[in-house]
């Protein structure tokens, strides 16, 4: 493994365990038993390191979402949390320290906002297509759908923020997360949509 990747992996683990504010580049160097200069050769600042980790997380998420079932949109939405769960755990500090990261790093904050806006545009199109398929309630206007997307994002963040060390010993944690996230959309489905929802998730 290249030194740059070792630095990122070590920093990510330290950020997840201690919080990004409590970890310095010197500590990353010490953990790896390499010089501080070796770390700053690859990442001049902690800001640069965190931005690089964020881009890795986005790229890994995009790779997984390539498997999204566009032929069966409702099933695709319900299965998505199952596939993104591991990535969310891998980069847990982005959820736990979300507000602090946004406040501390303007460039990362702007990127987060732009990526979120782009993601919502794509999700909105999926929700609108579900309405055309009479799986999602037709009376919901774009403003309602936008609220639903914001609420979904907030719930995902809330789930990971509230994890405790003992939760990671729970073998059913991923399944609980999938149910937790998907329960949000259930009341907004039509009778037809609810039947399909139950057939997919049992």
pLDDT of residue 194: 96
- Answer whether residue 17 is part of any domain: yes
SS3 (DSSP) at 52 = helix
- Answer whether residue 164 is part of any domain: yes
Same domain for 72 and 33, yes or no, is no
Low-confidence ranges of the chain (pLDDT < 50): none
pLDDT of residue 202: 64
25 is in which domain, residue-wise? 1-44
CB 178 within 8 Å of CB 77:
no
Same domain for 153 and 68, yes or no, is yes
Q: Please give the radius of gyration of the chain, using alpha carbons only, rounded to the nearest integer.
A: 19
- Answer whether residue 49 is part of any domain: no
How many CB atoms within 10 Å of residue 72? 14
Same domain for 83 and 159, yes or no, is yes
Same domain for 59 and 31, yes or no, is no
- Answer whether residue 180 is part of any domain: yes
């Amino acid at each position: 493994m290249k030194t740059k990747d070792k630095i990122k992996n070590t920093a990510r683990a330290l950020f997840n365990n201690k919080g990004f504010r409590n970890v310095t580049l010197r500590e990353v160097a010490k953990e790896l038993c390499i010089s501080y200069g070796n770390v700053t050769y690859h990442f001049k600042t902690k800001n640069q390191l965190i931005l690089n980790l964020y881009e890795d997380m986005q790229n890994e998420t995009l790779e997984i979402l390539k498997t999204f079932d566009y032929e069966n949109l409702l099933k695709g939405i319900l299965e998505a949390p199952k596939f993104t769960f591991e990535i969310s755990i891998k980069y847990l500090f982005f959820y736990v320290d979300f507000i602090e990261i946004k406040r501390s790093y303007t460039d990362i904050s702007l990127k987060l906002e732009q990526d979120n806006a782009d993601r919502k545009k794509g999700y909105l199109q999926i929700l609108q297509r579900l309405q055309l398929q009479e799986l999602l309630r037709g009376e919901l206007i774009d403003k309602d759908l936008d609220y639903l997307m914001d609420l979904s994002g907030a719930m995902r963040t809330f789930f990971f923020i509230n994890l405790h060390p003992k939760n990671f010993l729970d073998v059913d944690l991923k399944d609980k997360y999938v149910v937790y996230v998907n329960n949000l959309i259930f009341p907004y489905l039509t009778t037809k949509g609810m039947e399909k929802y139950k057939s997919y998730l049992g």
